[in-house]
Amino acid sequence: MKVLAALSGGVDSAVAAARAVDAGHDVTAVHLALSSTPAALRSGARGCCSLEDARDARRAADVLGVPFYVWDVAERFGREVVDDFVAEYAAGRTPNPCIRCNERIKFAAVLDRAVALGFDAVCTGHYARLVDGVLYRAVDHGKDQSYVLAVLAPWQLSRAMFPLGDTVKADVRREASSRGLAVAEKPDSHDVCFIADGDTAGWLRGHLGDQPGPIVDAATGDVVGAHDGAYAFTVGQRRGLRIGRPAADGLPRYVLDVSPVTRTVTVGTAADLDVLTVMTGAPTWCGVPPSLPSQTLVQMRAHGEAVPAYVEDLPDGAGLRLQLSSPARGIAPGQTAALYDGERVLGSATIERAD
């Protein structure tokens, strides 16, 4: 097959591309430029986007002996991922930009272009398994990234290649080292790749400005503090609340709700965070849609646990209702609920409401 390997400059995508070469595919490597003004050097915990990362990607392609190009997707990434990220926070929701990037950039804009240019598949370093077009969790559950891929539809998965799903991270590093890939010891990337210093609240402030408002205690209705912008808070957050005095019940306070219209951040106890029912928007199924209602596993955060849930269509058919078997905490609108049948990924939907 003609395979387009996306190289971020990190160790995972480099080993994934190497395995595609070993499998006998005709591999061409691309590094996706996500910013029109990339920084010269990598900073903080970022694992992509700087010129240094572009160079690392180029050197990996050299070692593999495959052609290398940079594809400029900055405009599309800015529109579909960064703008969406800002708009979601401004609306009091909690987005996952990696999911949007997979859904709209890597396995949409890039995949479409690759197919049009004659490629059969796009290969990435995601930790997930694809068996006959069916998506499963990676064997390394600690690194499993099936959650951020659960948004992909069958037409996207049929053109995807994830060669690392059957390997644990430590072995991927060892393999990179034995292949002579200089990125073998490069630290893992985490946080949001386009926020260099990891200060999401500060970055959002730069985009949305100060929007001061009250912090209200759900138990008493009292204003217990003030904030500079509701967008800096997500449901379940405890740090950074700056509540001057302890609550009457003596229990710590967590963010329960973020309401940008009234600029109100509502706080309450840990117990108030418990959620048993989740409503979502329309689901994307990774394969044949399951017959509902049905008992599945649901995961609602990138590294969260999967909990059993009873899933049914909403009466209007525009979404799902998830009845959790045990309470979940820190569930915010905008997050993705990924549904699993054991290790198999069924699909996903965006959380609209949690009670």
Partner 1 sequence: MTYLDHAATTPMLPAAAETMSGLLGQVGNASSLHATGRRARRVVEESRETIAAALGARPSEVVLTSGGTEADNLAVKGIYWARRGADPRRRRVLVSAVEHHAVMDTALWLAAHEGASVGWLPVDSSGRVAPSVLAAAIEEAPEEVALVSVMWANNEVGTVQPIAELAEIAHGHGIPMHTDAVQAVGQLPVDFGASGVDALTVTGHKFGGPLGAGALLLGRDVEVAPVLHGGGQERDVRSGTLDVPAIAALATAVEIAVKEQPERAERLLALRSSLVRGVCAAVPDAQLNGDLSFAMDRRLPGNAHFSFPGCEGDALLMLLDARDIECSTGSACSAGVARPSHVLLAMGHDEARARGSLRFSLGHTSTDGDVEALVAAIGPVVERARSAAQ
Single out the residue of 15, 18, 27, 28 in contact with partner 1 (rule: CB under 8 A). 28
33-41, 176-184, 226-234, 319-327 -> range binding partner 1 (CB under 8 A): 33-41
Looking at residue 351, its amino acid is I
Q: Which residues contact 249 (CB under 8 A, 6 or more apart)?
A: 219, 269
Q: How far is the CB of 86 from partner 1 (least distance, A)?
A: 23
Calpha distance 274→76 (Å, rounded): 37
198 near partner 1 (CB under 8 A): no
DSSP annotation of 211: B
Our finding on whether 75 is near partner 1 (CB under 8 A) is no
Chain centre to alpha carbon of residue 99: 4
| Contact with partner 1 (CB under 8 A) among 1, 45, 63, 71 | 71
Smaller CB distance to partner 1: residue 64 or 309?
Answer: 64
Q: Quote the least distance from Cβ 139 to partner 1, whole Å.
A: 35
To the query of whether residue 101 is one of the catalytic residues in this protein, the response is yes
# chain residues binding partner 1, by CB under 8 A: 19
**CB proximity list for 328: less than 8 A, separation 6 or greater:** 274, 275, 276, 278, 300, 304, 307
Q: Are 54 and 132 in contact (CB under 8 A)?
A: no
HSE, CB side, 13 Å, CA atoms: give it for residue 323: 9
Give 118 or 244: the residue with its C-beta nearer to partner 1: 118
Question: Binding to partner 1 (CB under 8 A): which residues in 127-186?
Answer: none
What separation, in Å, do the N-terminal and C-terminal C-alpha atoms of the chain show? 48
Q: Can you state the percent helix, strand and coil of the chain, rounding each to 5?
A: 30, 30, 45
Check residue 329 for interaction with partner 1 (CB under 8 A). no
Handedness of CA 255, 203, 52, 96 (dihedral sign): positive
Q: Select the span of 65-73, 97-105, 275-283, 340-348 touching partner 1 (CB under 8 A).
A: 65-73
Min dist. Cβ of residue 114 to partner 1 (A):
8
- Check residue 65 for interaction with partner 1 (CB under 8 A): no
Given the residues 48, 49, 123, 193, the one annotated as active site: 193
For strand 344-354 and strand 294-299, is the pairing parallel, antiparallel, or unpaired?
unpaired
The smaller minimum CB distance to partner 1, of residues 28 and 234, is found at: 28
Q: Would you tell me which residues interact with partner 1 (CB under 8 A)?
A: 28, 31, 33, 36, 38, 51, 54, 58, 67, 69-72, 74, 112-113, 116-118
The residues that are catalytic are: 101, 193
